[in-house]
Structure 1
């Protein structure tokens, strides 16, 4: 023991409840006496603090408000509350979705089936039918035959055309042409006895009583008026009407049938004209 050491060591005065001013030892404490770790000043510590959370919430709210304001400005509805703009957009989207869901069903369009094309004769191996030769059209003025002039042939055509229209058999046409060849030589004649007959178109004149026209029919016998009998078509129709009243005229000879209608003083005078009359009728039918 050193000489200046007292038997009792001088200890600092301690008071009940007073904290020790001694520096903590480097020994690690365990449990609730564990020394607190210094606070971390990183990003997590900053976000964990209450002031930082408040500031972050305020920033997000401001950003959302700016986005809504910009959307309202883009739609041209500045000044309207953002809530109304968003509500209108939601309603428009709902209507669009409903219109798509309730679209009209497609209309059924009837389709007409196309019939299958019939195979051509060449495809089936059959020869093509030859086209029928076209019958040449008759000229308006027939070419004269049997030694007749054009005027005679024109008059003969009128007689034949009237008979065809009345459905007179060919033999009746031959009888009519033979009669006109004998009576007027197929010319439309006026009468010297009837001066008024010259007032109508004519191709010569005769002097056999009051006989006029192609068949030398007499107005005084009831065949018709002078004006009517000077028309070749009317004179031919009057002759066919009288021929139809002759019983069995189709079984009679040409000269007998003509005589039954004309009652001429020369009943056999019509026979020599039968051959020429036949040639004319064949050329005109």
Structure 2
């Protein structure tokens, strides 16, 4: 229990560091090409500093770095870590955090993309959020932490989500054409969240 409390306190400090970085950064103009790794890199640096004091008891990332995860680049792991931190900061469960990571994998392969698709040409960011007023400004949709917070605020309004299949929870938020679209990314998301939080896949999925 003390370990969990320590992690929670440290993650709060990380979120403050992210907020400071975000406040100092000038929002990109709508015509620019995004730099997807910028926030992930800032988060990785903050997380590495905080994790150093907890890794022995939690199994979290080694000192000075985020964990290497097969099949994912450091940029993707950093973006997943930002999603996890956003969910934790809002008091959400590990399962909810994994649903956020799963959704970002399904929407953007955990990259901050500056383009949409045929179904949503105005979609942007980790979660491919539309420019319809529901998901914030362009800068917020392109920011891993802010876009994750927007996703989680919508997720909190999904009644009965703890008993729903993860892909259906994501679908209730995203309204993807295929309700099963995210199912293929669930196991990878669970593994990522387990590595980032020093827990087991069973704890995350439970």
TM-score, with structure 1 as normaliser: 0.46
Aligned to 1:241: 153
- Asked if 1:144 is matched to 2:56, the reply is no
Aligned to 1:106: none
CA 1:137–1:265 in structure 2 vs 1: closer, same or farther (change >3 Å)? closer
Aligned to 2:89: 165
Residue ranges of structure 1 left out of the alignment (5+ in a row): 1-132, 193-205
Counterpart contact for 2:97–2:193, Cα < 8 Å: yes
1:155 to 76, 79, 85: 79
How far is 1:191 from its partner? 2.1
Counterpart contact for 1:146–1:279, Cα < 8 Å: no
Give the RMSD, CA atoms, in angstroms.
1.9
Counterpart contact for 2:84–2:193, Cα < 8 Å: yes
Aligned to 1:250: 162
CA 1:224–1:174 in structure 2 vs 1: closer, same or farther (change >3 Å)? same
**1:66-215 alignment, distance < 5 Å:** 134-135=56-57, 138=61, 139-191=63-115, 208-215=120-127
> Quick check: which has more Rg, 1 or 2?
1
Distance 1:223 1:137 in 2: 31
Residue ranges of structure 2 left out of the alignment (5+ in a row): 1-54, 198-206
- Asked if 1:229 is matched to 2:141, the reply is yes
Aligned to 2:182: 270
Count residues with an aligned counterpart.
140
4+ residue segments displaced more than 6 Å: none
How far is 1:222 from its partner? 1.9
SS of 2:182 mapped into structure 1: helix
CA 1:134–1:144 in structure 2 vs 1: closer, same or farther (change >3 Å)? closer
How far is 1:143 from its partner? 2.0
How far is 1:144 from its partner? 2.5
Aligned to 1:95: none
SS of 1:210 mapped into structure 2: coil
How far is 1:266 from its partner? 1.5
Give the structure with the larger helix fraction: 2
Distance 1:141 1:212 in 2: 28
CA 1:247–1:149 in structure 2 vs 1: closer, same or farther (change >3 Å)? same
